[in-house]
Structure formats: structure tokens, C-alpha cells
Amino acid sequence: MMLAVNIKEARSKLGQLLRQVEHGQNILLTRRGKEVACLVPPQKTGRLPSLKEFRQTIAAPKQGLSSAVLAAREEERC
């Protein structure tokens, strides 16, 4: 369940609301009964994938780069 708080109340209780968000609570901010914004905790992300492993997945062309570019251009013309 999401807690709904009006903007005026949110201003006076911002610290308390942020502590609740830190503990996983979602808080809906409203103005005159209409939804304005939502305070949500950040998504926890893992470590970024290894750049070294990514590089190993890239296969270099057997021919030189300029030859590969020229061949690709020629293929597009056909």
C-alpha cells in the first residue's frame, strides 16, 4: 500500500518521509487531491558487467578494418 501525503504536509515532514522511503515505503505526493509525484527508493543494481569479458565477446574481422568498411559499403549498394 502506498502512503499518500499532500505537498504542504510533505514539506514539514520531509525528513521523516525520506526515512520511510529508505526503508522501502513508496510515498505518493498530492496537490489538491491530484497525484503530483512519487517518492520511491532507488533500485539496487549490481556491479556493472566486466569490460574485459565484453571485449572478449567481440570478434574482430579477419580482414583489415578499411577492407571490412569497403566491403560493407559495397554490400549496401547491391
SS3 (DSSP) at 60: coil
Domains by residue range for the chain, with CATH: 3-39 (3.40.1620.10)
What is the Cα–Cα distance from 68 to 74, expressed in whole angstroms? Answer: 10
User: Cell 549496401 sits at which residue?
Assistant: 76
**Tens-level pLDDT at each residue, the chain (78 residues):** 789 999 999 999 999 999 999 999 999 999 999 999 999 998 877 788 888 888 888 887 677 888 888 888 998 987
Q: Give pTM, 2 decimals.
A: 0.55
What is the Cα–Cα distance from 5 to 2, expressed in whole angstroms? Answer: 10
